[in-house]
Structures are given as C-alpha cells and as structure tokens.
Amino acid sequence: MIEKVKNRGKGLLCVKTDKIVIGAGLYGLYAALLCGRRGESVTVLEYDDAPFKRATYINQARVHMGYHYPRSYSTAIKSAGYFRRFNEDYGFCVHTKFDQVYATSAAFSWTNAEQFRRFCRAADIRCDDVAPSKYFQSGMCDGAFLTEEYTYDAQILKAYFLEKIAELPHVRIVYGARIERLYRDGGDWCVRLADGEMRAPFVLNATYASSNQVLNKAEDGGFEPFGIKYELCEIILCDVSESLKDTGITVMDGPFFSIMPFGKTGLHSLTSVTFTPHVTSYDTLPTFECQKRSEGFCSAAALGNCNDCPAKPESAWPYMSNLARKYLKEEYGFSYRGSLFSMKPILKASEIDDSRPTVIRVHTQSPTLVSVLSGKINTVYDLDNILRGEE
C-alpha cells in the first residue's frame, strides 16, 4: 500500500507504491485501473494538467478494424481481434451509427480496388462494394467500400476512467509532474520530480511521443531508445453538410485524406497523409525548430502540449480542404471549425509495410522498467500480459 517516507537527508516527500505509471493517456489510465482493481497502489504521473490531452484525444479517433493496413496483414488481423473487445468494454463512448466508406484512389494508390477486396477477404472483415460515383468525382477513385469501423469519443472515455479511478483510493494521479530523473535504489525504481520523489518496484513508461525523453532520464540514458521519428500533426475539426453527417470517408492508400465523425462530438475530423504532418524530426529526442520560439514551453528534453503551444504552426486547412474537395462531389460540403495539434512518434521500421505494431520493451526486471509504444487505441489490451506478469 501507499507508504510515505522521508528521503534520506533531502527533505523531499517520498511516496512508495506498487506501480508507477508515467503518462495519463489511455494506456496509462488503463494500466492504472487494471492494477488498481487488483488492489495494487498506483501513482500516475502526468505532465499536463488533465488526462487525455494529447494523442489519446488528438487523433482520428478510429476504433481500428484493420482497414488501414492493407499492406500488413498481421496488424490488420490483430486490430480486428481487439475491435470487438474494445466495443464491448467501452461501447458507451463509441459512435457506430454512420457509414464508414473506404475508397481506393485511381492514381497514386499503393493498393487498388481488387487488392483491397482480396485483403478484406483474407482478414475476414466487412467490405461491400458501393459505386464510387456516389461520393467521388468521376475517375478519381476506382473502388469504394462500405466497411465496419467506428469512432470513439475521448472525452467520454476520460470521464469514465476518472470516475472509476476515483473509486480506488490507492490509485492517485499527479498532474503537472516534472520528472527530473529515474534511478534504481534497492528493489525500487525512484522517480525524482521537481517537488518530490516516487518509488515503486514497477514503472510503466506509457508516454507515447515522450517515451525516449523519459528513457533518457533513466540512469543517464543508459537504455536503448526507440527507433522512432516524430511528426507534429494537425487534426482539423469540421462542420459538415447534412449529406456527410452520417458518413465517414477515407481515401487510401497513399497521399490522400480522411474525413470522418470525431467521436460523438457531432464534428468531423479532417486529416491527410501529406498535410497532417507539419514538421518531422528524425532525432532520437524530438528536436524541432519551433521549440526555440516556444518561450520555454517545449524542448527536446520535455515536450510541451503542441495544442497549447504559442509556437504551433499555421493550419494546413487550405491544403487539406482542397485535397478533399478535389475528390468529393460537391454535395459533401464541410467547413473549418478548429485545429488540434499533437506529436506523433512513428516507428522507423514500419514505413515500408505501413504496419503499426505495439512495441513493449522491458528495460530492467526487479525492479521493473517497461516502455510501451502503440499507435492505436484498441491495442491497449497488449498491456495485459506485461501487467499480469507481475502477479
């Protein structure tokens, strides 16, 4: 249970729990709730002032069925498997009542209509042909398909997790946590914060884009960082015309776009492969030119929340909207509501096959330091094994 002890000589309050989870995104809170329900004491350390303020909220909000990965069967089949489970567990936050249309572009697509059909058959996921002319300008798409894919609402999901965690007195979330360093001391990992210290025999690094930054603070960066690149991404929120209200459209697999319902907000998210990423960093730690202009808000050592950053980029709305309009028929109208920015790490190994595996790395055992990196919401169940291993 939670123990409070004075740190030797430093005068800082030191809290000892069974587990420390770094990052209050979906992966972090899922782990905290799972362990908390088993009676373990958990401290969640969050950089921002609230949970779900970054990647969990700022993404296309897809509950993936696997359609996105026509060049990686393994990713697709696994997504499809977790899809059902996610909908059973978190159905209350999932918006299902809309037509999700996938289309293959006639030009520049890495996958054509026939290949997409074959892929869906192999992955055993729904794929019903509809006439491309229903949605698209003549000649732009060679195939369009009605699929089964949903969108989740991060705010509803957040409320659920906070409510459930509030019922567990031994699970605590610390906001505004500034981690200075991590070091081993006996059978524990100690996390030194600017204003205190936490220790636990098990630390889970679920910080997504900040994974390498946290690792870099552990024992002077002695652990192998993830091979990732970083993209500063923009999701545009749109009001849409009546005809697009209950329809999500994704043109793939290449330099295209997607416009689909954004959870249960009534808005649509607009993204595009070419214009959603604004700037890219290939460094081990995310290093961007805009950090210099952020007035100390963000650095290569600790990422600020791009969405609140004074140096966030100008919206790519003119580009994304033009790309979408080039494909869509005029009756499918949409207009600008606002932009959300967030940092997205991409495993360098997944460029060719476009796969999105969940990477779990066990850096040390007893005391344990584990990092998890996954780009999809419904693969959160990949955490089960690693958390259960501790029992």
State the residues that interact with other proteins by CB under 8 A. 106-108, 137-140, 255, 274-275, 278, 316, 318-319, 322-323, 326
**Cα angle 197, 203, 208; round to 5:** 105
CB 328 within 8 A of CB 135: yes
Shortest approach of other proteins to residue 360 CB, angstroms?
Answer: 32
Whose Cβ is closer to other proteins: residue 211's or residue 272's? 272
Whose Cβ is closer to other proteins: residue 287's or residue 366's? 287
Whose Cβ is closer to other proteins: residue 108's or residue 385's? 108
Three-state SS for 243?
A: helix
Whose Cβ is closer to other proteins: residue 14's or residue 251's? 251
Total H helices, total E strands in the chain: 8, 23
Three-state SS for 166?
A: helix
Shortest approach of other proteins to residue 294 CB, angstroms?
Answer: 18
- E runs forming strands in 148-256: 150-152, 171-174, 179-185, 188-193, 196-200, 202-205, 228-240, 247-252
How would you label 130-165 residue by residue, b for 16+ Cβ within 10 Å and e otherwise? eebeebbeeebbbbbbebebbbbbbebbbebbeeeb
Shortest approach of other proteins to residue 319 CB, angstroms?
Answer: 7
- Phi, psi angle pair for 54, to nearest 5°: -120, -120
Q: Which two tokens stand for residue 166?
A: 């509030």
Shortest approach of other proteins to residue 46 CB, angstroms?
Answer: 32
Shortest approach of other proteins to residue 139 CB, angstroms?
Answer: 4
Whose Cβ is closer to other proteins: residue 117's or residue 325's? 325
Whose Cβ is closer to other proteins: residue 48's or residue 234's? 234
3-state secondary structure 30-97: HHHHHHHHCCCCEEEECCCCCCCCCCCCCCCCEECCCCCCCCCHHHHHHHHHHHHHHHHHHHHHEECC
Whose Cβ is closer to other proteins: residue 81's or residue 254's? 254
Shortest approach of other proteins to residue 133 CB, angstroms?
Answer: 10
Q: Which residues pair with 251 in a beta bridge?
A: 103
> Distance between CA atoms of 312 and 10, rounded to whole angstroms?
39
Q: How far is CA 40 from CA 17, 22, 172, 351, in A?
A: 8, 16, 11, 39
Whose Cβ is closer to other proteins: residue 34's or residue 316's? 316
**CA-wise closest residue to 232 among 324, 317, 305, 322:** 305
Whose Cβ is closer to other proteins: residue 90's or residue 256's? 256
Shortest approach of other proteins to residue 11 CB, angstroms?
Answer: 49
Shortest approach of other proteins to residue 153 CB, angstroms?
Answer: 30
Q: Which two tokens stand for residue 292?
A: 């210099």
Shortest approach of other proteins to residue 326 CB, angstroms?
Answer: 5
